[in-house]
Amino acid sequence: MDEGQKGGALAAWLRKMKISKWQAVVLAAGLAGILLLCVTSLTGGSPQAGGKANAVGTENIRVDLTDYEQQLERRLQETIGAIAGAGETRVMLTLDSGSEPIYATQGKTDQKHSESDAGSEESLSADKQYVTIGTGSGQQGLVLKMVEPQVRGVAVVCQGGDDLLVRQSIIEMVTAVLGVGANKVSVARLG
């Protein structure tokens, strides 16, 4: 069965069960949350089972901004130095902010639809709470993922920085690797 048929079968099942796409998304998120809680309890994630190893605090996963910057600069320097004609290379970059944790939440979302003489109206309300691990003062939020800092700008200084083809290759590589616009990349000749 190809992807189009699978999607069609799912849509037909949702229509048959009289479930809107929004309700299906909420249902899937709820099931994922329940599955996450079950897996956590089965793997010893509860504080009573001694699952402190699974309760990761933000202090354990917080990325040191300077280290992250230096690591990116070093990797870019090595990659740019491998471009034909670039020669000796130095890289400096700036970041917008530090890493941000994304915490797990649970709760319910209600969608109401009403019709009146003035037209139809839809309202959406959510009651969400953060998922915590631990008890008492040892409670911590469950971190789903860390969002890495965004690159603000990149300066590249290399021996071949005055060659237009080398400059264009460097700009294309940096914009592709970091996902920044070409206007945020500066290339100059090493003097």
97-131 pLDDT, tens digit each:
766 777 777 777 777 777 777 777 777 777 777 77
What percent of the chain stands above pLDDT 90?
28
pLDDT value, residue 84? 93
Quick one: 57 and 140 in the same domain?
yes
Q: State how far the Cα of 128 lies from the Cα of 13, in Å rounded to an integer.
A: 28
Token pair, residue 48, equals: 């009573």
Of 14-23, 30-39, 106-115, 137-146, highest mean pLDDT: 137-146
Quick one: 83 and 156 in the same domain?
yes
Domain with 33, as residue range(s), is 1-42
**Domain count for the chain:** 2
Q: State how far the Cα of 140 lies from the Cα of 60, in Å rounded to an integer.
A: 12
Q: Would you say residue 191 has pLDDT above 60? A: yes
Cα distances (angstroms) measured from residue 3 to each of 8, 16, 62, 67:
9, 20, 39, 43
